[in-house]
Amino acid sequence: MDDEADDHLISEAEKIAVALGRMFPGLCEVVLHDLRDPQHAIRAIENNLSGRQVGDSATELGLARIQDPHYPSVIQNYPNQFPDGRPAKSTSIGIKNAAGEYIAALCLNLDVSVLSPVTLALANLVATDTEYREQPLETLQDRNARELRQTVEAHAAERAATPRSLSREDKRALVRQLQRDGYFASRDAAQTIADLLGVSRATVYNYAK
């Protein structure tokens, strides 16, 4: 009866292995090990990236679980390597039966070498020219009064002060930063800043010079 229950559990795990492998074709190898037969442990292998076959033996992790029921159930995101040298990121999930014995392991091996060029391409895609980093050419969002107020208050809070209690030099630096960030493009921005800092509108324009 126990053997039948174990067989059923492993059959259900095989469905998961197949589904996961087919979700990430060419990218993630998924292997189900039947630890009841360590010499012929591989029960299923989807998206084969390592060159192993059904019926091949268990790995070191599988053997460790067979020997120790207290071995960690999940070992996640550890560095690994395929036989041809490609780097991999692996996760191994031990599966216990009702008696608390490891009878199977579901292993995922992600081919990191495939993702590295993608990562580089994305970094190049989002990069901006250094020539324009200091002075933005435009702002892509509306600088409304609420956002302006939040920015001024956050600046003051970083200095353990309120906007009105900032020193003259801090107020001058803040106004210049607001100008660089495009806040002065908003209508009535200068008056809003003046009210927040407790100075006149003319003083705000003077600070911005």
Query: In 3D, which of 48, 14, 54 has the Cα closest to residue 28?
Result: 48
Identify the residue with better confidence: 173 or 129: 173
Sorted by sequence, the CB contacts under 8 Å of residue 51 that are 6+ apart come out as: 82, 83
The token pair that represents 195 in the structure block: 């009210």
pLDDT digit string (tens) for 106-125?
A: 999 999 887 777 666 777 77
Whether the CA torsion 161, 199, 146, 152 is positive or negative: it is: negative
The pTM for the full model equals 0.57
Residue 137 has pLDDT above 50, yes or no: no
Q: Which amino acid is at 171?
A: K
Whether the CA torsion 113, 118, 119, 123 is positive or negative: it is: positive
Judge contact between 110 and 133, C-beta under 8 A: no
**pLDDT, position 141:** 45
Distance CA 113, CA 134 (A): 35
Judge contact between 198 and 187, C-beta under 8 A: no
Distance CA 176, CA 169 (A): 11
Distance CA 175, CA 173 (A): 6
pLDDT digit string (tens) for 73-93?
A: 999 999 998 888 888 899 999
Residue 127 has pLDDT above 80, yes or no: no
